[in-house]
């Protein structure tokens, strides 16, 4: 006992030879890095490099410490965790990729307001306290035909707030066909429970009539709820009560109608392969008393939950304590106002990226695929253009299949290529199809096409990225 094996001796020698952080900071390959990054970050990169080397030695890898490894750790540490991604999936409102990209005007407006102070809650004409919602209420009313509006953090919060404020301790009648999970574990029955409402299910999964609701109304009924089937579709032998039937029932029985519209198109969206979404205005016109929809789905703006409807109801919602907990910030107000202006100006389909991408005609997509394919060819990569279908995403228009074009990279292992593209900068996310990596061009700019080609080329040639 006590004798040291040659293996252990070598290991200890290597561990002893590891530089101290102070030594490493002065190394000729490390010191110059301090010109572009902060000292704490450089120290952290040195620590990570030495720690990594120590683990390698203990795991039996016997190599001398390489000071140049510090710059590798530095580039990982220096890049933000939240960073841009090039979306070659063809899914336009991709929840994992941040849903709707904002218009140029919305981005500028955020920057203007973020840089300094703003009149978020100050009425500049009167010099009195104002409302943060006032900046968008008029536009929302004009665009939807509603009497009043309120905006909260997201549509899930809007639903939670509406149920809690209008029907806490009361019964809420909803069709069995609409007891949906919206995603991320947001399920209508759970939200009901959370809001202190009693769920009263009527009808069946495929067929519910207005008479079913009528039979379920009691003196304890607080709300009729209609949930838009945004992320799924029931086809075949189906029937559902319309908004106007339910609104008429609600008026006759003295119970308000709340419609959770989810994706919420402000104006019709006409594009090849798209399905029809009810616009918010049609639902308001049909008599819904309050309607909730997302800001970052088909509307194409920032994350938000918009509530529009009757003045008395919106006032009640605005006064509820939960509203303060789910209120929007100034950046959201700025981006939403700018996005709504595009609708006011009749420029939604050209200025709002999500709408522009969803309505891009197939010949334009094919031309873009040719740009991407030519960029791959210039990088000496083999590829072919393939027809495909994109997706709307974000739980909107589940049956829509807008025709698109993708470029498939040929002869490169798809999973390994995809892993490397995701991990590099800028990250690229695409779609694996039949063991090939497909780049759907719908959400790509021409500049993106060139970046994608050079990233793929770098990965294929084994260059560090
Ligand atoms: C997407 C959706 C929601 C949730 O919207 P968020 O803005 O993501 O919170 C709620 N209801 C319906 C019907 C939806 O489609």
Contacts of 295 (CB under 8 A, 6+ apart): 151, 154, 301, 302, 303, 304, 305, 306, 332, 336, 339
Confidence of residue 187 (pLDDT cuts 50, 70, 90): confident
The closest of 225, 396, 181 to 295, measured between CA atoms, is: 396
C-beta atoms surrounding 35 within 10 Å: 7
C-beta atoms surrounding 139 within 10 Å: 17
Alpha carbon of residue 169 to chain centroid: 33
Over the stretch 59-96, which tens digit does the pLDDT of each residue have? 988 788 999 999 999 999 999 999 999 999 999 999 99
Ligand 1 within 6 A of CB of 154 = yes
Ligand 1 within 6 A of CB of 295 = no
Ligand 1 within 6 A of CB of 294 = yes
Q: What phi and psi values does residue 302 have, to the nearest 5 degrees?
A: -75, 165
Q: What phi and psi values does residue 84 have, to the nearest 5 degrees?
A: -65, 150
Cα-based angle 52, 55, 61 (whole degrees, multiple of 5): 105
Q: Is the pLDDT of residue 465 over 70?
A: no
Q: What whole-number percentage of the chain has pLDDT above 90?
A: 86
Ligand 1 centroid to Cα of residue 263, in Å, is 7
CB 456 within 8 A of CB 381: yes
Ligand 1 centroid to Cα of residue 441, in Å, is 27
Which residue's structure tokens are 């994992």?
Answer: 96
Ligand 1 centroid to Cα of residue 73, in Å, is 39
Task: Retrieve residue 361's tokens.
Answer: 């005609």
Ligand 1 within 6 A of CB of 243 = no
Over the stretch 204-249, which tens digit does the pLDDT of each residue have? 988 999 999 999 999 999 999 999 877 778 888 888 999 999 999 9
- Report the atom number in ligand 1 closest to the C-alpha of 158: 9
Q: Is the pLDDT of residue 366 over 70?
A: yes
Ligand 1 within 6 A of CB of 155 = yes
- Indicate the pTM of the whole model: 0.93
Ligand 1 within 6 A of CB of 228 = yes
Ligand 1 centroid to Cα of residue 322, in Å, is 18
Q: Residue 160 and residue 155: Cα distance in Å, rounded?
A: 9
Q: Residue 387 and residue 407: Cα distance in Å, rounded?
A: 9
| Element holding 306 (H helix, E strand) | strand 305-309
CATH numbers and ranges of domains, the chain = 6-78 (no CATH), 85-94+357-461 (3.90.1150.180), 103-351 (3.40.640.10)
Which residue's structure tokens are 């016997």?
Answer: 62
Over the stretch 397-456, which tens digit does the pLDDT of each residue have? 989 999 999 999 999 999 999 999 999 999 999 999 999 999 999 999 999 999 999 999
Residue nearest to atom 12 of ligand 1 (CA): 262
End-to-end CA distance of the chain: 49
Ligand 1 centroid to Cα of residue 182, in Å, is 6
Q: Describe the crossing of helices 134-144 and 330-344 by its angle, rounded to 10 degrees.
A: 30
Over the stretch 239-298, which tens digit does the pLDDT of each residue have? 899 999 999 999 999 999 999 999 989 999 999 999 999 999 999 999 999 999 999 999
Ligand 1 within 6 A of CB of 299 = no
The closest of 173, 235, 180, 236 to 210, measured between CA atoms, is: 173
Q: What is the mean pLDDT of residues 106-123?
A: 97
- Report the atom number in ligand 1 closest to the C-alpha of 156: 9
Contacts of 31 (CB under 8 A, 6+ apart): 25
Radius of gyration of the chain (CA): 28
């Amino acid at each position: 006992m006590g004798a040291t094996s040659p293996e252990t001796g070598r290991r200890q020698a290597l561990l002893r030879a590891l530089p101290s952080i102070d030594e490493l900071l002065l190394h000729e390959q490390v010191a110059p890095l301090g010109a572009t990054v902060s000292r704490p970050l450089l120290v952290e990169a040195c620590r990570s490099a030495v720690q990594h080397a120590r683990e390698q030695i203990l795991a039996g890898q016997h190599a001398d410490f390489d000071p140049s490894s510090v710059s590798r750790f530095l580039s990982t540490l220096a890049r933000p965790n939240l960073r841009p991604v090039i979306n070659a999936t063809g899914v336009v409102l991709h929840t994992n990729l941040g849903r709707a990209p904002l218009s140029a005007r919305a981005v500028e407006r955020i920057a203007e307001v973020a840089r300094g102070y703003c009149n978020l809650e100050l009425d500049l004409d009167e010099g009195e306290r104002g409302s943060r919602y006032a900046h968008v209420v008029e536009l929302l009313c004009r665009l939807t035909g509603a009497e009043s509006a309120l905006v909260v953090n997201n549509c899930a919060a809007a639903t939670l707030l509406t149920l809690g404020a209008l029907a806490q301790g009361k019964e809420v009648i909803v069709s069995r066909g609409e007891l949906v999970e919206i995603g991320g574990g947001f399920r209508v029955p759970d939200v009901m429970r959370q809001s202190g409402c009693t769920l009263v299910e009527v009808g069946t999964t495929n067929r519910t009539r207005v008479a079913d609701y009528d039979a379920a109304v009691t003196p304890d009924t607080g709300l009729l709820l209609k949930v838009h089937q945004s992320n799924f579709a029931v086809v075949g032998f189906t029937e559902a009560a319309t908004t106007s039937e339910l609104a008429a029932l609600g008026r006759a029985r003295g119970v308000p109608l709340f419609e959770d519209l989810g994706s919420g198109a402000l104006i019709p969206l006409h594009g090849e392969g798209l399905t029809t979404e009810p616009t918010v205005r049609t639902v308001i016109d049909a008599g819904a008393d309050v309607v909730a929809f997302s800001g970052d789905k088909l509307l194409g703006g920032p994350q938000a939950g918009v509530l529009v409807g009757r003045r008395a109801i919106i006032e009640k919602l605005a006064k509820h304590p939960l509203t303060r907990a789910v209120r929007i910030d100034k950046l959201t107000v700025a981006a939403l106002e700018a996005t709504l202006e595009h609708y006011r100006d009749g420029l939604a389909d050209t200025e709002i990226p999500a709408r522009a991408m969803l309505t891009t005609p197939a010949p334009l997509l094919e031309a873009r695929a040719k740009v991407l394919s030519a960029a791959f060819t210039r990088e000496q990569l083999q590829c072919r253009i393939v027809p495909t279908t994109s997706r709307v995403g974000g739980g909107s228009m589940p049956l829509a299949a807008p025709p698109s074009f993708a470029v498939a990279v040929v002869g490169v292992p798809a999973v390994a290529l995809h892993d490397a593209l995701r991990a590099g900068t800028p990250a690229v996310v695409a779609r694996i199809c039949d063991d090939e990596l497909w780049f759907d061009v719908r959400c790509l700019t021409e500049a993106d096409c060139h970046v994608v080609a050079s990233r793929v080329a770098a990965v294929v040639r084994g260059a560090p990225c």
